[in-house]
Amino acid sequence: MSQSGATVSQECITAYNDLKLAKKYKYIVFKLSDDNKQIVVEEASPDKDWENFREKLINATSKNKSGAVGKGPRYAVYDFEYNLASGDGVRNKLTFIAWSPDDAGVLPKMIYASSKEALKRSLTGIATELQANDPDDIEYDTIIKVVSKGLAG
Quick: pLDDT tens for 77-103: 999 999 998 888 999 999 999 999 999
Q: In what order do the strands lie in the sheet with 38-45?
A: 7-8, 38-45, 27-32, 74-83, 90-99, 128-132
Q: Which residues of the chain have pLDDT under 50?
A: 1-3
Global pTM? 0.93
**What is the sign of the dihedral through the CA atoms of 148, 149, 151 and 153?**
positive
Is 142 in contact with 134 (CB distance < 8 Å)?
no
* Exposure string for 29-42, b = 16+ CB within 10 A, e = fewer: bbbbeeebebbebb
